[in-house]
Amino acid sequence: MLRMPEPRQPPPPWEAAPELRVVQPAAVEVLWHPAKRLHLRPFLGRAAGLAEAAALLGIRKPAMSYWVGRLTALGLIRPWALERRGRQRVLLYRCVADRLLVGLGDAPHASYEGVFDDAERRWQPDARAALGRSLARQAPWLALAISVGGPGGLQTELTAQAPGAPADDFLFCWGRLWLDAGEREQLRAELDALWDRWAARSDQIGKRCPTLLHLVTVPERR
């Protein structure tokens, strides 16, 4: 267990860099792993003491003390200031930069798929809830068709079971397209342009109808 020494003197003043490329293998390993890099959160763009950081992450102080020591040893955080709070002196730590970069070439290849995990955790709950509400509005006109196929031996799809259904207010499409290299590039360019065109019209202040958009197109090696 790494234990942090009791603070005695304020640390020398220093400024956090706006951005820093991290190449040290041990630090890269921590930053690449979602459960490990989470311990850096209390110190990014701000300073925090051990107890404050533990409370923010919802973990016990001994565990946070370990991670403060480890992140300090890796050079990812540094003592920032010594504050007096009542009768106690609290040592605050801050990340050495407000934005950290980890080159994909420095990361373990087996974990490349994990790059997308953070985006999935950010958007999937919102998207699933919104899709559920859309289906609820159309439930009287829809049925779930179950047939043989799919990865688990069964596949499902939504189908109309009664006429007069209102128009869908969502798109949810998964499929496999067989294209040559030129067609595949044209598809990617068109979807890219679609995003740019509608993103330019998006105005959070002036428009009150948020719409989630998720675009994926990627070559598949079989």
The SS3 call for residue 213 is coil
Q: Enter the CATH code of domain 20-106.
A: 1.10.10.10
Residue 6 pLDDT class (50, 70, 90 cuts): low
The answer to whether the beta carbons of residues 51 and 61 sit under 8 Å apart is: yes
Q: What is the DSSP letter of 97?
A: B
Q: What is the pLDDT of residues 83-140, one digit of tens each?
A: 887 778 899 999 999 999 998 888 776 667 777 887 888 899 999 999 999 988 888 8
Q: Which one, of 16, 14, 11, lies nearest residue 89 by Cα? A: 11
Boundaries of every domain in the chain: 20-106
Write down the pTM of the prediction: 0.67
pLDDT at residue 188 in the model: 94
Cβ neighbour number for residue 139 with a 10 Å cutoff: 10
Tokens of 189: 């360019």
Q: State the first-to-last Cα distance of the chain, in angstroms, to the nearest integer.
A: 47
Q: What is the pLDDT of residues 28-79, one digit of tens each?
A: 999 988 889 999 999 999 999 999 999 999 999 999 999 999 999 999 999 9
